[in-house]
A and B are shown apart, each in its own frame.
Chain A
Amino acid sequence: MTRLRILMAGLAIAAIAPIGMALAAGGTKHIEPQEWHFEGVFGTHDRAQLQRGYLVYKEVCAACHRLNYVQFRHLVDIGFSEAQAKTIASEFEVEDGPNDDGDMFTRPAGLSDNFPPPFANDKAARASNNGALPPNLSLITKARPGGANYVFALLTGFGDPPSDLELADGMNFNPYFTGSQIAMAPPLSEDAVEFADGTKATTEQMARDVVAFLAWAAEPRMEDRHRLGFKVMVFLIILTILLYLAKQRVWRNVH
């Protein structure tokens, strides 16, 4: 009887085992997991890295991609002072109004404004991008299988197409993208930005930093979550042990 059960369990495992592999393959190139500062039970963000990542976003990505769920005041969370955040905000123009004359007007952005979109609407975005719509980056590391690792792989994965692949007009080869053809041109090139902290702006460095920034933008409360989670887990472990001991004590005369 036991043997039959073990056999069945073995069969179940044998049936289940290939699933993980099949999921990992998924048709596109395998995504290499990276090491991230924000990973793990005690994971936090590296503020310097987030600020470098913000620079990459602003100098490179912001030309086409929205980041509309992030407000300028949130930048304080990545280590900018309130004054710095205000200065950063004031470099952007946002539409406001109507004023007392009934007209819309533009003004420099303030702390309570969201990052303004690079295009007036999706149609305008498509018109400027060969028909492709640059996705909103606010949630990108949560909205793609593979998360941060996928975005990093995509940013660093551009290359020459294999000889048997005919690229469509205006498309670029990227083996991590569905169908291996992506409308976005390789966005990062050596020294595309100049980091204030002297970090060398290699393509990989910029990709790593901007992905960390986007991971923060997608989940700005993650550090709170890790911090609170640790306290809650410690509390619950002690509580559960005490409850078990109390239960044993209550039950000691029953058996």
Chain B
Amino acid sequence: MSDYQNPIIRWVEYRLPILSFIDHSVGRHYLAPKNLNYWWNFGSLAGIALAIQLATGIVLAMHYVPHGDLAFDSVERIMRDVNYGWLLRYLHANSSALFFFVVYVHIFRGLYYGSYKYPRELLWWLGIIILFVMMATAFMGYVLPWGQMSFWAATVITNLFSAIPIIGGGIVEFLWGGFTVGNPTLNRFYSLHYLLPFVIVGIVFLHLWALHVHRSSNPLGIDVQGPQDMIPFHPYYTYKDLVGLGVFLLVLCGFVFYAPNYMGHPDNYIPANPLQTPPHIVPEWYFLPYYAVLRAVPDKLGGVILMVASIAILFAVPWLDTSRVRSAKFRPIFRQLFWIFAIDCILLGFAGAKPAEGLWLVIGRLATVYYFLHFLVLLPLVGWFERPKPLPESIHQPVLAASAGAAVVPPEDRR
């Protein structure tokens, strides 16, 4: 490539064009829409959170002992005697929670700006698959310290599979590697907890591949029309992402150094005891909304199906949303529905944190009904009946176009 002056780099490039590959992926030659706001930071932040998890996790694995009798002690040894072991473990635990936070913001950004719409459906799907694998990884990681919550979370979650008719019991024993949660369970969870992050890395590459085909969506939701609408990823978005990274690290380190157990549960500092059930088994906060959906249904199988469906329904969103206008900016009714939906999800989280009884059970049920109502009824209907605001002519002249009264182009003709 003539781009490079250095003879060594030219030599490498001629044989393995890896530098130009990077350059075309996240460098000067990858063009992105020029109007991406800070909500678009969360994709790269998720990547960095994954990298932090891998780096800290690999070192933790050097000190952790995956055995039912030794796991809890080995974690305490990491906390007390391993050099900076406390830092590694607190980083790993807190950044896993922030990883979910970042990914949730990323998903909600996609929902708000219609990033899932044509032609980015597969990009969206890959993201949902990443979420599923992340959830499995996080769950198995939570089991590893082998505290009371670890043990009983493992018991509750693996037991969900017993709801499957006929083969359910067999699946549960297969997952356990025995007839109860025990040492074999811990061992296989450890193995998978080490494996799955690399599976995520693989899917992330597919996610980025799909992203680069049609590039990022943007806050206006209209297609880029030419070079005047775009800027090189580097230096513009590398620098913008770095600002977000600084803020992310500040939040992460705030938790790690000053409230490291804030998001954890005290019961997980009690060693696992199969004979004593904690009074109140709760998952980590990032699973609470699903937990509320699970418990909203009086029937076990129904609850499990609904819980899985609450995420799987995201696969159908590109078709459930019948509007061709991407950005909520130009969809006055959808925008209100989006915020109500966001509040509904938070409400589900609170319902999941409470014992499934009384008022909170009712709230959890209503919020669950609304969750599915939003996707299955409101999303299709609003696309048909809503009158979108006029879309700007182009990204580089949105202000000009708007002030000139902008030709009202029916959204159907804009594809």
Chain A residues with CB under 8 Å of chain B are: 1, 4-5, 8-9, 11-12, 15-16, 19, 22, 41, 69, 74, 135, 138-139, 142-145, 147, 178, 218-221, 224-226, 228-230, 232-233, 236-237, 239-240, 243-244, 246-247, 250-251, 254
Contact = CB atoms under 8 A, between A and B. Distances in A.
A229 B256 contact: yes
Contacts of B256: 229
A19 B86 CA distance: 31
B231 A236 contact: no
Given A1-B332, A142-B266, A251-B240, A239 B257 contact: no
Interface string B216-259: 00000000000000010001100110110111011001101110
A236 B243 contact: no
Contacts of A225: 86-87, 90, 257, 260
Contacts of A224: 86
Nearest to B249: A236
13 contacts: A9-B343, A19-B353, A41-B258, A69-B73, A69-B76, A74-B80, A139-B269, A220-B80, A225-B90, A226-B257, A233-B257, A243-B243, A246-B239
A19 B347 CA distance: 11
The 6 closest A-B pairs by CB, nearest first: A229-B257, A240-B246, A143-B269, A247-B239, A221-B86, A142-B269
A191 B243 CA distance: 58
B240 A237 contact: no
Contact of A145 (B235, B250, B266): B266
Contacts of A8: 336, 339-340, 343
B261 interface: yes
A243 B242 contact: yes
Contacts of A240: 243, 246-247, 249-250
Interface string B160-201: 000000000000000000000000000000000000000000
Quick one: which of B90, B239, B247, B260 has the most chain A CB within 10 A? B239
Interface of B: 34, 73, 76, 79-80, 86-87, 90, 231, 235-236, 239-240, 242-243, 245-247, 249-250, 253-254, 256-258, 260-261, 266-267, 269-270, 279, 332, 335-336, 339-340, 343, 346-347, 350, 353-354, 363
A11 B343 contact: yes
Quick one: which of B236, B246, B256, B350 has the most chain A CB within 10 A? B246
Contacts of B243: 240, 243-244, 247
Given A142-B269, A221-B80, A232 B253 contact: yes
B246 A243 contact: yes
Given A8-B339, A254-B34, A247 B258 contact: no
A15 B253 contact: no
Given A12-B347, A225-B260, A250 B270 contact: no
A104 B404 CA distance: 93
Contacts of A226: 257-258
A220 B79 CA distance: 8
A221 B257 CA distance: 11
B80 to A, nearest CB: 6
A244 B241 CA distance: 10
B257 A232 contact: yes
Contacts of B249: 236, 240
A251 to B, nearest CB: 6
B79 A221 contact: yes
Contacts of A232: 253, 257
A9 B340 CA distance: 9
Contacts of A19: 350, 353-354
A1 B336 contact: yes
Contact of B239 (A1, A239, A243): A243
Given A9-B343, A144-B266, A221-B80, 16 more contacts: A8-B339, A16-B350, A143-B267, A147-B266, A178-B279, A219-B79, A221-B86, A225-B87, A226-B257, A229-B253, A230-B257, A240-B243, A243-B246, A244-B243, A250-B236, A254-B236
A251 B236 contact: yes
Contacts of B353: 19
A247 B256 CA distance: 27
Contacts of B260: 225
Contacts of B257: 225-226, 228-230, 232-233
Contacts of B340: 8
A254 B395 CA distance: 12
Contact of B336 (A5, A178, A228, A247): A5
